[in-house]
Amino acid sequence: MTANLSVVQVAVPSPLTRRFDYLLPADLAIPVPGTRVRVPFGRREVIGVVLGHAATSDLPPEKLKPIRRVLDSEPLLPATLVELLGWASSYYHHPIGEVMQAALPVLLRRGTAPTMSGAKLYLPTEAGRQSSPEAFKRSPVQQRLVELLQRHPQGMAAAMLGAAVKNWRAPMQRLISQGLVQVQEGSCLPVRTVRQQAAPTLLPAQVTAVTAIQAAIGQFQCLLLHGITGSGKTEVYLQAIEAVVARGRQALVLVPEIGLTPQLVARFESRFQVPIAVMHSGLNESERLCAWEAGRRGEAAIVIGTRSAVFAPLPRLALILIDEEHDASFKQQDGFRYHARDVAIKRARLEDLPVVLGSATPALESMHNAELGRYRLLTLANRTGNAQPPRVQMLDLKRLKLNDGLSAPLIEALQDRLARREQSLLFLNRRGFAPVLMCHDCGWLAPCKRCDARLTIHQRSQTVRCHHCGAEAPLPKVCPSCQSANLHGIGEGTERIETSLARLLPNARIDRVDRDSTRRKGSLEAIFQRVHDGVVDILVGTQMLTKGHDFPNLTLVGVLNADQGLYSADFRSEERLVQQLVQVTGRAGRADKPGTVLIQTYHPDNPVFAAIAHHDYREFARYALAERESAGYPPYAYLALLRAESPKPDAALDFLNMAHTIAGNPNGVELMDPVPSPMERRAGRYRAQLLVQAGERRALHAFLETWRAMLENDKRARQVRWSLDVDPVDLY
């Protein structure tokens, strides 16, 4: 054991679940926890994060390596965030070094300095503020510039000046030389000029919700805001945040997907004249660093982001809001498999502030916590304005013939909306033209060579693609098995529905929203703008369309394959189906015009569809929770999933059988038999899984901590790629 040494404990990006000790050279200042350091690791140097200090190390002096360099003069991650990340590492049983890396933008992981280089700002000096524009009559451009800067004492960027005044640069230089204008480096956040809007009058239930949230500021409390679609949840968020901004504090708003971000950001910018930072994967690395730093330095009063924004350092954070809290996108599905909603709740507890979970279809776990009194339930049962819930009708496909996936009643309803110049939305959660290419002579089905899956036809590009591994090939002209040209697509995807609509309704203006049609940056926003501008009659799309979008003239929603979620072996499949259908039906009739929803199904009497027709999600939640309790599934039990994969056919199952054997018979924990994953072969790798279940969370985590250490030290674990998923949201 090494004693009387200055030892720094560092989280190093490594699959090993421990911290590493380093010596602090005498010429370096002692780095505070949360500071980045450059350290030797094996044959390379890496960027680590300081976790703490110690006077001793378990390693002998000759084994300890010195820190090469301290990168930050102040900690980038504050103490509460370091504590949160330590908790997340422990709870999700993931290496602390990789957890710390996940909390940093990529540029900071590479050692880049946390700088914010923004556009230059032109500000009036004291003399400039006191000058009369009338003194510049002989120079109209200078006069206009003085007027503008006096109206914008916080400064104007070149882009704003150029939009307002032509040929402004030379006159501006003269104003600078006269001491009337000064130049400063502005924020790296994009300059947005959005017309400000006044807050609308709230319904009584909204007032109750806003009052409850504002009253909770300054203390930990978890509030579940259950509001039907169109009930004004976003307005509750806005008015709750007003109190935070007024006190000079910060608010964090988490959204599940990038697609929801632009619309929500525009809504916030129309109400708040404060810097707003946006964080999501659609930004480049410099933009992500800018947003992160704007939050860390307190410049951004509001941070809106997707999953990883939950780790953003915000020194004056006072409120966390999670929109669509039920959404599975909040769960990271590879690497560090954290759930942003649950991490946010833990962060709120550590920082002693309220967290609001908002949804029209809360997760059953959240509903259960509200029933037990752990969360405070706030309900918005009515739509805002004169809007009423849409009329929901089941179309029994056992009695109706389909025309390329569309029934006659649905086609008639679309024609009726076209005649009334109203908009329609058709929802099908399957992209491409057809999910299967089949030879009608020999029965051959186009397979993916790397997955246990069929190739999907994409008619526009004349290709077949695997939606699991991304493999792509030209669309075959003849069957490779029997050389027949009698090849046909079986089933429908969004591309086929779009084609069918163009044939059946030639005068309709149709737009498609799926991953294929929205690949280019800004394409999704452009489509939604066309809808708002009234130049789209029918939207066809996947789940990208189901939530968060408000189209006042949209009065018809058609659900084309509502039975998809009824056949899954996953115990959460019904919950997801109901959430998806409630969200998509909520797009209809959100303004003064009544809405109608037509659901095509072979099982119209299923209890799932009854909950949709009655607009009673709580009724479904009670039924589903009773089923979960009888089956011993969450929230009445706690799960973890050990996954393994390998290019060798039997290696993953062999590893899991070994893991099952060394686990023994732990108290309070049940290990299921290892099984192949539902899709065993994916991207050329064979996958298997082992489910662990416990009645108490503490027993599960005690077992997982010991078990993971055993697996990590077993040589056989190095022959496969394996991961541990705590609280899995997908059992596949």
- Provide the pLDDT for residue 193: 60
> Could you tell me which CATH class the domain 7-109 is placed in?
alpha beta
Residues found in the chain = 732
Question: 89-103, 118-132, 338-352: which range is least confident on average?
Answer: 118-132
The whole-number pLDDT of residue 284 equals 85
Q: Would you call the peptide bond into 607 cis, given omega within 30 degrees of 0 as the criterion?
A: no
How many C-beta atoms lie closer than 10 Å to residue 38's C-beta? 15
Q: Quick check: helix, strand or coil at residue 261? A: helix
On the question of pLDDT at 202 being above 70, the answer is yes
Question: Which percentage of the chain shows pLDDT scores above 70?
Answer: 98
Q: How confident is the model at residue 615, as a pLDDT?
A: 87
Chain position carrying tokens 């009234």:
534
| Structure letter (DSSP) for residue 564 | G
CATH 3.40.50.300 fits 204-380, yes or no: yes
Per-residue confidence (pLDDT) for residue 2, from 0 to 100? 45
Q: Strand 721-726 relative to strand 472-474: parallel, antiparallel, unpaired?
A: unpaired
Nearest Cα neighbor of 262 from 57, 642, 61, 544 is 544
**Distance between CA atoms of 697 and 292, rounded to whole angstroms?**
33
Identify the CA nearest to 338 among candidates 561, 709, 86: 86
Whether pLDDT at 18 is above 50 = yes
Predicted pLDDT at 562: 87
Greatest distance between any 2 Cα atoms in the chain? 91
Structure confidence at residue 12 (pLDDT): 95
Torsion (CA) 597, 602, 605, 607 in degrees, nearest 10: -80
Pick one of 3.50.50.60, 3.30.70.100, 3.90.1010.10, 3.40.47.10 as the CATH number of 638-726: 3.30.70.100
In whole angstroms, give the CA distance from residue 419 to residue 401: 24
250 close to 301: Cβ distance less than 8 angstroms: yes
Q: What is the pLDDT of residue 191?
A: 64
| Res 5 pLDDT > 60 | no
Average pLDDT of the residues in 192-197: 69
Whether 85 shows a pLDDT value over 80: the answer reads: yes
* The predicted structure's pLDDT at residue 511: 94
Three-state secondary structure call for residue 148: helix
Q: pLDDT tens for residues 271-291?
A: 998 889 999 888 888 889 989
pLDDT in tens, 444-454: 999 999 999 99
CA dist 687 and 691 (Å) reads 14
Under 8 Å CB-to-CB from 265, ≥6 apart: which residues? Answer: 276, 278, 304
Q: SS3 for 163?
A: helix
Distance CA 589, CA 593 (A): 6
Q: Where in the chain are the domains? A: 7-109, 120-185, 204-380, 391-434+491-627, 638-726
What are the φ and ψ backbone dihedral angles of 695, each rounded to 5 degrees?
Answer: -80, -20
Contact, 428 vs 404, CB < 8 A?
no
Instruction: Count Cβ atoms within 10 A of the Cβ of residue 450 and give its class: 0-12 exposed, 13-18 middle, 19 or more buried.
Output: middle
pLDDT at 67: 94
Helix ranges restricted to H, 132-199: 140-151, 158-164, 169-177
Please name the amino acid found at residue 275.
P
Architecture in CATH of 391-434+491-627:
3-Layer(aba) Sandwich (3.40)
The sign one gets for the Cα dihedral 578, 579, 580, 581 is positive
Cβ-contact 175, 145 below 8 angstroms: yes
Highest mean pLDDT among 242-246, 523-527, 609-613: 242-246
137-177: per-residue pLDDT in tens?
Answer: 889 999 999 989 988 887 787 878 888 888 899 999 999 99
pLDDT category of residue 3 using cuts at 50, 70 and 90: very low
Q: Using an 8 Å Cβ cutoff, are 513 and 429 in contact?
A: no
Residue pointed to by tokens 């990168």: 71
542 contact partners, CB below 8 Å, separation of at least 6: 427, 428, 429, 430, 431, 494, 513, 514, 515
| CB distance 463 to 434 below 8 Å | no
Could you give the CA distance from residue 48 to residue 9 in angstroms, rounded to a whole number? 10
Judge whether 204-380 and 391-434+491-627 match in fold: yes
List the structure tokens of 95: 């290496």
Lowest-pLDDT range, 54-63, 301-310, 400-409, 594-603?
54-63
Distance between CA atoms of 250 and 390, rounded to whole angstroms?
A: 37
Strand pairing class (250-254; 276-279): unpaired
Residue 592 pLDDT: 78
Conformational region of residue 597, where left means phi above 0, alpha means psi within -120 to 50, and beta covers everything else: beta
Using CA atoms, how far apart are residues 659 and 679, in angstroms rounded to an integer? Answer: 21
Strands 391-396 and 596-601: parallel
Residue identified by tokens 């005044």 is: 165
- As beta bridge partners, residue 252 has 303, 320
User: Residue 621 pLDDT more than 90?
Assistant: yes
d(CA 336, CA 263): 29
Residue 548 confidence class, pLDDT cut points 50, 70, 90: low
Q: Is the pLDDT of residue 4 over 50?
A: no
3-state SS track over 705-717: HHHHHHHHCCHHH
Cα separation values, 641 from 102, 107, 167, 686, Å = 21, 32, 64, 16
DSSP letter (8 states) at residue 178? T
Q: Is the pLDDT of residue 389 over 90?
A: no
What are 597's two structure tokens?
A: 């929803």
pLDDT value of position 555: 93
SS3 state at 576: helix
Q: Mean pLDDT in the chain?
A: 91
**Quick one: pLDDT at residue 490?**
93
